[in-house]
Structure 1
Amino acid sequence: MSTPEQSQYSPSPTVILEADKSTGEQPMELFIVDEHTENYLALQAGGDFDRGLLTGVLAGIGGIGGIGLGLFSFLKSGDFKGLNIMLAICTPLCMVPFLWETLRPLPLPILFNRRTREVYFYHDGELFHTPWDGIFTIANEFQIVGAQIGSIQNASLEIRVWKFEEPETALMINLGAPFGKSLALQKGFWEYIRSYMNNGPYFDEHGNHSDSDAFVKSQLTVRFKMSDSFKNTLAKIKQAKQDAGGRNYLSGNDFLKLIIEPIFYPLAKIKELTYSIAKSRTRNLWPSLVTERLKANGPTTRLVDLECEKGA
């Protein structure tokens, strides 16, 4: 098997990052972490980040809007006919996309298990893994150049994993999409993973162990959530009112947000609920060897140890 320096990469800057050596960067979450728990860290893999959007649009706007029209018709005429018609239309409009998006499994995440100090990845129905101790990742920086987009800096971050009980089969997997990221950003994300695995589950801005989850929360809450947009607008307007000292503080832009954002709030909440249910159902796809090791009282033996016992 070729070493990283002899791999397929181009002469563009390539850096080998190790589990027990600091990158010199501050830990930084790059909107990839799906779950940060005391026992494991789950990184989104395989896309499908917009799961739930269709349900949110059809149910949050079409369904609620249609039922609202039905209620308006009932209040105006006292006749249930209009309301019944809208319910007959909106019920399948809401339920069909909801069932379609929740019953389809999401791509399983990349799991970093603190308890057993190993990494899991599920690919095409096959389990891959690698021990954390001694792991290294390859950070490769490159540019995409085009007539319309100009030059865009990118950097990949990859680790190697082996198929369970078939170590002659290996995969290189990306820890998140490389597009639009610099080498410094990828080093910061690797530092986030290192801090979690070596000093976690919680740590400070320097990667040192912390009993407080304040820094981790500050990283995870930066991710934009559409459902928080209206709340953030209200907080901004409240602060503007205090700063204005009673003068006119409401801008035209803020006024439009107060009208538009409540309309999209149901869409956002339904999307998040749909994604959460789909993610919960997807957890059942992991082999029992993995799920039992994610529990606080589960086995601590690594998969590589099981392979050694079987002579793989």
Structure 2
Amino acid sequence: MEGIKISNVKEFAQMKEFLTKPFLDLKNKQFLSLHSLKKISDTERAFFTSKNVGAYTVHFYTRGQGMYKLGNQETVVESPALLFSPLDRIKHFTTSNDCEGFVLIFSEVFFSKTSMKSFFLHHTQLFNSLDKIVFFKIEDRFDDVLNLFQLIINELRRPYSEIQEQILLNYVFSMLLISEELHKHERVTFRTDKDIKIVRDFKLLYNKELNKRQSLKFFCDKMDLNLNTLERAFKKNENTTPKKWANKRLVSEIQIELNRMDSSIGEIAFKFGFSEVTNFTKFFKGQTGITPKQFRERLQG
């Protein structure tokens, strides 16, 4: 990105406030925020809870190091590096005293504006590896990543405009595409066990069949295992059931479609395998507490 000046990395890395936009709100699932690594590492644990399921984080180390825990595993990330995780996966991490860098936090609904971006988010191993925290060194692309983070910071500080959300989304996607390319060459993994593979395979298969309303028995037959085995694997690794996970995943995709405003509620219901709009409305309200129509009204209001 020729012509972009990085005047002072430390100035950006030690920001004292969250940078957000008025049209981005975690409560309404439309969310993008950027903060300093040091500040986030000192944040109360309450921030890293299940209420933030559906949010994703990118940790960018420009200096120093951080230590992360995933179950009983610990790993140290040394700059310059990128680390990727769903927000609720990391319960706690610490940084060195000389640490500088950024944490980018964004919601699924913010990122998944198109089917292509939704597919990318749910299939990239940057965020969808159960048995590891994905991180890697970025010496060769450090300037490119740093420039993209500065562009995001600059855009977040500008006054609101109608195209601002799309501009921010393009910057985030560009950074993730660069990261995906780097990840093909450098992989840092933890031990994989059978239960983790079961959960990962179920999720991949479910994503392929998302719009067909398949039963758990269908997936168990495809994977050649019984329901009890699938449920034990989910309980161990996700602390939930496959049914609850599948419902949340489906609701998340439905919300993305409702947010796009280019299809009727009936068309969306049919797309996700509901033959009757009443059944679709009943399912959505049972999961969210509001109807699809009310969800759209809140977005518009």
What's the TM-score once normalised by structure 2's chain length? Answer: 0.23
Answer 1 or 2: which has greater strand percent. 1
Structure number with greater CO (CA < 8 Å, separation at least 6) is 1
Bigger Cα Rg = 1
* TM-score normalised according to structure 1 size: 0.22
Greater fraction helix: 2
